[in-house]
Amino acid sequence: MESILPKSKKVKKPMQKSLKARDNELAATNRQLEILEGGLFAEGELPYFKDKINKIGHFPLRPKKLEILQINVGYMCNQVCEHCHVDAGPDRKEIMTRDTMKQCLEVIKNTGAHTLDLTGGAPEMNPDFRWFVEEAAKAGIKDFIVRSNLTIIRANKKYYDLPDFFKKHNVHVISSMPHYTRGKTDKQRGDGVFDKSIKALQELNARGYGMPGSDLRLDLVYNPSGAYLPGDQMAMEKDFKKALDQDFGIQFHNLFAITNLPIARFLDYLIASENYEDYMYALVEAYNPAAVANVMCTNTISISWDGWLYDCDFNQMLDLKVASKVKHIKDYNEDVLNDRNIIISQHCYGCTAGAGSSCQGTVA
Ligand code: SF4
Ligand code: SF4
């Protein structure tokens, strides 16, 4: 049988451009979905996610109480990481406008969610980022997260004061840190990323972020740098804490271990390295029914740079808008939205493998 996958081609690292800028066929979300729905699954070698969760009474997957509003303020980023599920990079021009931010602020003021989670790209690169943070902080949401890639803090003088800015608005900083060694970090995220990240972490620690007993929360996110699943989150947190403290005197609060989902650049990587089928087998084999009830989409709404609503950031990147009458922030209605079926596909196996995976780490 002929493979439905694109022809494998060795990828030079690090990549300099997004899939979109390279006109890669995977920049088309319907092509990604064709791969995820076809091949191994259509041929019956692996079960569809839908059938797996149906067996335990979770299909259709339904939301529980909304807890997290995740807002993606744009796909522009100073990095072009190999595994990026957003396909972010300096060449991505999709940026949330102030008008859309104003619509988000109305929602933030009235939401029942206790957590606001700003993400990107590098959210700090949105020209209205600081205005938005200042305004959003006034709503007094309990946990206000900004996902920072760390290197942005050292990318340009205009960002050097970000640690002070975060502190001023009591922002909870969650930062990617693929590993505590230079080699593994730079392999995934590009040359020089490790050193800049260390410097940024030291700057955050100097403001009190991540220090034992400090209310200024600093958490790190680990995701594997290859076609394998993350190890035990608690064990890794211990290793990260020990190594970063010993080598650089760095402190942080928690480590979240996140599974790479087979979409966008990670899908491209899997195909280019001829690991796609093995990875899907690994995800399905590691399926943990106990993780299903708490997958991220059951308590989150994801909002894109142009105001569309999604079940999660991954569905956003596959352009799978919510299955609801309310599809855009301008029509936002939490009660109507909460009465919907969540859209799933085979990428969802990434959220239920092992101890499960979400933007806040394990879920089971
Ligand atoms: S993984 Fe994060 S830091 Fe890397 S390119 Fe994507 S958005 Fe940027
Ligand atoms: S990928 Fe999104 S929709 Fe699928 S299980 Fe994970 S959070 Fe839910």
pLDDT attached to residue 10 = 46
Q: Is the pLDDT of residue 244 over 70?
A: yes
Q: Is the pLDDT of residue 339 over 70?
A: yes
Computed over every residue of the chain, the mean pLDDT equals 94
pLDDT tens-digit map of 276-316: 999 999 999 999 999 999 999 999 999 999 999 999 999 99
Average pLDDT of span 99-127: 97
Closest ligand 2 atom to 300 CA: 7
Question: Considering the entire predicted model, what is its pTM?
Answer: 0.94
Binding site membership of 193 for ligand 1 (Cβ less than 6 Å): no
Contacts of residue 333, defined as CB under 8 A and 6 or more positions apart, other chains included, come to 326
Q: Whose CA is nearest to atom 4 of ligand 1?
A: 81
Q: Is the pLDDT of residue 349 over 80?
A: yes
pLDDT attached to residue 2 = 57
Q: Whose CA is nearest to atom 1 of ligand 1?
A: 84
pLDDT attached to residue 277 = 96
Binding site membership of 340 for ligand 2 (Cβ less than 6 Å): no
In the chain, which ranges are continuous DSSP H helix?
29-37, 39-42, 49-55, 98-110, 129-137, 151-155, 162-168, 182-189, 193-206, 233-248, 264-272, 276-285, 289-292, 313-317, 334-338, 349-352
Average pLDDT of span 63-81: 96
Question: Could you tell me the CA-to-CA distances from 131 to 51, 113, 127, 139, 175 in Å, in that order?
Answer: 45, 21, 9, 13, 21
Q: How confident is the model at residue 354 (pLDDT cuts 50, 70, 90)?
A: confident
Question: Could you tell me the CA-to-CA distances from 103 to 71, 110, 169 in Å, in that order?
Answer: 12, 11, 21
Q: Is the pLDDT of residue 348 over 60?
A: yes
Binding site membership of 244 for ligand 2 (Cβ less than 6 Å): no
pLDDT tens-digit map of 152-200: 999 999 999 999 999 999 999 999 998 999 998 898 888 899 999 999 9
Q: Quote the ligand 2 centre to 186 CA distance (angstroms).
A: 28
Binding site membership of 177 for ligand 2 (Cβ less than 6 Å): no
Contacts of residue 6, defined as CB under 8 A and 6 or more positions apart, other chains included, come to 25, 26, 271
Q: Is the pLDDT of residue 274 over 80?
A: yes
pLDDT attached to residue 323 = 98
- Distance spanning both ends of the chain, measured CA to CA: 38
pLDDT attached to residue 360 = 73
pLDDT above 90: percentage of residues in the chain: 88
Q: Is the pLDDT of residue 92 over 80?
A: yes
Binding site membership of 111 for ligand 2 (Cβ less than 6 Å): no
Q: How confident is the model at residue 3 (pLDDT cuts 50, 70, 90)?
A: low
pLDDT attached to residue 335 = 96
pLDDT tens-digit map of 196-211: 999 999 999 999 999 9
Closest ligand 1 atom to 147 CA: 2
Binding site membership of 329 for ligand 2 (Cβ less than 6 Å): no
- Are the beta carbons of 308 and 331 closer than 8 angstroms? no
pLDDT attached to residue 11 = 43
Closest ligand 1 atom to 119 CA: 7
Average pLDDT of span 215-242: 95
Q: Is the pLDDT of residue 70 over 60?
A: yes
Binding site membership of 229 for ligand 1 (Cβ less than 6 Å): no
pLDDT attached to residue 13 = 52
Average pLDDT of span 48-64: 97
Contacts of residue 57, defined as CB under 8 A and 6 or more positions apart, other chains included, come to none
Binding site membership of 318 for ligand 2 (Cβ less than 6 Å): no
